Chain A
Amino acid sequence: MAARSGPEIGESLREYGRGLAGGLIFSLPLLYTMEVWWAGFIAHPARLLLYVVVIFLLLLGYNRYAGMRHDATWLEVAIDSVEELGLGIVTSALTLYAIGRIGRHTTLDEAMGTILVEGGLVAIGFSVGTAQLGAGGQEDEGMGGRQQRVRFAGQLVITFCGAVLFAANVAPTEEILVIAVETAPERLLLLAAASLALSALILYFSDFARADRFAQAESKRQALAGTVITYAIALVASAGILWFFGRFDGQSAAVMIAETVVLGFPASLGGSAGRLLLQS
């Protein structure tokens, strides 16, 4: 065994520990949210299947572009993602058991859905936690990171990941629907404008940590384009999450759009600020 070189057992345990802490920090609000438990047993199996696929793709995105190991190969990234998904599911099952959501009275069908929906969210927390809570010693940002500036496609992926990470916290709640149906269209327009303005502010005008490295704009036109792209990605992410949590079921197009704009606000903050933080 010793011949196969890898990190020491102690080092991998420490890494799993960081992942666990991160997984719980990022997903505990959702582990304690009723609508997320319900989504697990309400969603059709085909929808859950799609959910797992999307979570896995997001994990690939986080691990490839947000982790500090920019030298990792796609195979390593895929292996890490499978690990995080498995650990996420186990952590979610244990937590749900501890808070009395699953147990003797629940059937396998019911428990599996809830464990899976929560597990996917915990897995993302694992991924972010492993990367973000890491000891600074492994790789100093100034050296390794700089020449590895993530290119445009990577920035899109990481914007999407940041948007999902932030928006998922509020997306399953009833409040999104309440705001969407009770708010007048012109105020929603205000919300959309605020989303755009804040994205621009964070990415290009307020010297946000490392904004110059990841979101450099040579001209005003480029800054405008970057802002619009960020908001577009935030809207797509919002619509996807809302659809999964059944918030689009049976709604009129006008309500769907309103919901998307409402969730687009946190999503655009996640897409702009979140992505800078994820990469720092």
Chain B
Amino acid sequence: MNKPHKNALEWSVFFVSAIIVLATIGSLAWSAISDVDSPPDLSIVAGKALPGQQGTHRVPLLVRNLGNTTAQSVQVEVILRRGAEEVERGELTLSFVPRHSEREGWVTFRNDPRCCEIQARAVSYESP
């Protein structure tokens, strides 16, 4: 049985590669087995408002997909609500929110969001 001719460099490249490949396969196999097929499940968190240009107010939105499927063409609606009154409405469109991943976006308002409660929800999305 003749051994492959390789020098120390080639063996190290091989072992590092083998570790990368095995780790990748292992983690994929694990999520393939453990992940149940669940549709996209989006959670939206509005951050602290910052003053913007021309008297507007910028509100950061963090959209997180807790499902096991990627969400595509995500429409987010943000409403500033003071009690029962709807003060202002904003919209955000994201092309993709991959599974277990997050995307950040911004909406701007003319009114100061500190006046009200910020309500955000994903109105619609596709599963690709």
Contacts and interface: CB of A to CB of B under 8 A. Distances in A.
B5 A110 contact: no
B62 to A, nearest CB: 10
A83 B101 contact: no
Contacts of A76: 4
Contacts of B19: 86
B115 interface: no
Contacts of A246: 128
Q: How large is the interface on A (under 10, 10 to 19, 20 to 34, 35 or more residues)?
A: 35 or more
Interface string A1-32: 10011111100110010000000000000000
Nearest to B27: A112
Given A109-B101, A112-B27, A87 B13 contact: yes
A203 B67 CA distance: 50
B98 A116 contact: no
Interface in A76-113: 76, 79, 82-87, 89-90, 105-107, 109-110, 112-113
B14 A82 contact: yes
Interface stretch (B29-37, B49-57, B82-90): B29-37
A45 B10 contact: no
B121 interface: no
A52 B100 CA distance: 21
A42 interface: yes
Contacts of A215: none
